[in-house]
Amino acid sequence: MEMVEELAYEIYNKNLEYFLLSQKELMKLLVTFDMAVTKGDYIPEYDLEYMDSYFDIKNINSSRYLYNTDSYKFSKKFSKTVNFKKNSNTFEGFPIYTFTDELIDTMDSGSQSIKSMLPLMRYYSEHFTNSDSMKEINKFIFIGVNLGLHIEIISEKTNADEYLIIEDNLEIFKLSMFTTKYYELAQKAKLFFSIADDENMFLKTVQNFLSELFFANRYLKYARFPSHSDTKLKLIQPALMTQSFIFFPYKLSLKKYLRPLSFMNNNSYTINLTNGFHNNKNIDKPVLVLGAGPSFKENINWLKKNHHKFILIASTAVLNYLYLNNIKPDIMTHIDGSEIANKHFVDVDVDIFLKDTIMIFGPHSLVELRNKFSKEKVFNYEEGTFYNKGFSAFPASCVGSFSILLSLIMSINETYLLGMDLAINQKTGETHSSDHSRSKKVDISQKDNISDTMNFELNLFKVQGNFQDSVYTNSLLHASVQTLYRNIPVIKADNQVIYNLNDGAKIQSCVPTHIEDVNLENYHNIDKNKLHNSLLALFKSHSTTELNEDDLNSIKLRAINAKNIKNLIFEFENSSSKSNSDRYQYDLLGLVSTILKKDGREFINLTHVFYDYFQFVIPIITDMFNTKGLKNEKRHIKKIDKMIIAELHALCDTYINTLEKFLLSRVE
């Protein structure tokens, strides 16, 4: 018994050493837990006991054991459930589309952006199925640890390169440190830990896990310990669906990077949203950010009565309803690049109703929408293009989250959020106000089911609520929660306060506030004419209408660099092996690595587009040749190589031609 205890403490201490060196955030969590126990702030619920020949975890209050059997034998039996089948305990890393060309041509521009991927995806679907078996497992997810004995057994079986280890209970994980040699596993593979994480931190960890060895993300095997909650299991699918290359496919990224050139050639304002507007004279006036969530219409009477007391920042998604109620926004925001956005302007007399409204357009916004307004009050922003050196903005997944960040950048002291539920209506299943162009009604009776189909809008999962303990949302809405989770702490100053008035999802660093509790006595009606002139002057002071000589030279260099990448593609096309899958993959990954290492202002946009494309393509190819019993290898190589090369050249050509056309127009 004494030797067993000594060995357990030796394992524990070596795990601590490993965590201290390589898992610093987890180590901080463990130290905080120990301090809470020492101070009496936390009373331990579990104890580790040795039962003759095996360890078990005892619930101190109930005296029940979590295994209640030989834990080692149980773990060996449980480990046998892990196999190499693609359709057994597996997540698909991304959806495979098999639309017909005729069908996709009827869809919006966002859906059409994946049209170039269809030939490869169809070929893949015709020749490979999820009933196939893998030759090897590269990435593996453990959901639930308990004593972790099954982790060591399964890792010997899979010999994966990466593991994501998930455990909701920090105390149980700490006990596993006496029995599981995480430090040894870390010598063979890269480990990602998600221990006692809330959904935001969990999704961030999963994204980190996915970004490493992205070429192995087609199928992700997992083992869920029987007694562990399925909460994190349900959250993995939204983590997969909100990967940027799925959420915003590579062709849309290319458009977003090139479309700003259209407004830079006509002396329009480009506003810099990189730094705070500390010269704003209106910081003491409260901002009310209006989004198209369910709470917007529910509180329309309060808004009609009190809107004059706020600077109103509204997304164009609520424009129709504001028009019907004669509520004029001071600032309108728009980032959608699809034609469906035109619906928000139907029957609105823009020239009169929005005469004193400032328009903020994202880089992906349609040119025809910008042209509805005079240049004097339209401000466009760049996002990661840096055509104007130093000009950019924080990326946002929806116009509502962008509007919140805009208020913070404007250095406003107090920001209120209405219609920013970022969750479905918990009673009706509606995703937005009924007149929103993308409003859907989700079947809430299916909210607790785990779907086999990846869908941004229909698959629901539980998250922390603003007023309630938890609410249900979908991947599309929760992407905005993640945007705010990442960016608010970076932008928000200590003196800035955000009040969340919505019965929806909890938002990072926001104060839950019922709308009837807003102290309106502190606010007075704002002179909107004076405000408009002040905001117009403020935005102009952070804007430019010209590209300088250095900026133009940067664009010229981008075109040259793109031609150099095109030459790399030609070299690969002419020299890569077409007779052996291992050699072909080696050559292809060499090209991928070379392109993705291209960095800096003049490379970053095209590199990002290629990265988004590769995240679709490379996992498909890797999975093809990771199929046990694969036949006709050479034929597969030649078929897919032809499709890939054609698309790589097409991306380069579009990028080069657009830049050169822009530069030529400057000369003329």
Q: What pLDDT digit, counting tens, does each position of 175-195 carry?
A: 999 999 999 999 999 999 999
Which sign, positive or negative, has the C-alpha torsion 91, 94, 98, 104?
A: positive
- Residue from 649, 584, 573 nearest 622 by CA: 584
| 18 Rama class: left (phi>0) / alpha (psi -120 to 50) / beta | alpha
Q: Which residues contact 522 (CB under 8 A, 6 or more apart)?
A: none
Q: Rounded to an integer, what distance in angstroms lies between the CA atom of residue 657 and that of residue 647?
A: 15
Q: Where are the domains of the chain?
A: 2-80+136-247, 268-544, 548-667
The pLDDT value given to residue 446: 59
d(CA 149, CA 74): 9
Yes or no: say if 135 and 627 are a contact pair by the CB < 8 Å rule: yes
Task: Give pLDDT, residue 391.
Answer: 95
In the predicted model, residues of the chain with pLDDT beneath 50 are 437
What dotted CATH number matches 268-544?
3.90.1480
pLDDT for 44 equals: 95
What is the rounded end-to-end Cα distance, in angstroms, of the chain? Answer: 88
Distance CA 390, CA 382 (A): 10
pLDDT at 424: 87
Amino acid at 483: T
Q: Name which CATH class applies to 2-80+136-247.
A: alpha beta
Q: Give the pLDDT score at 471.
A: 93
pLDDT of residue 437: 47
Q: Which residues pair with 140 in a beta bridge?
A: 163, 221
Whether 408 contacts 492, CB under 8 Å: yes
The letter for the amino acid at 312 is: L
- Whether the Cβ atoms of residue 575 and residue 583 lie closer than 8 Å to each other: no
* Reported pTM: 0.92
162-167: strand order across its sheet: 90-92, 219-224, 139-143, 162-167, 190-195
57-86 as b/e: b if 16+ CB within 10 A:
bbeeeeeeebbeebbbebbeebbeebebbb
* pLDDT reported for residue 347: 83
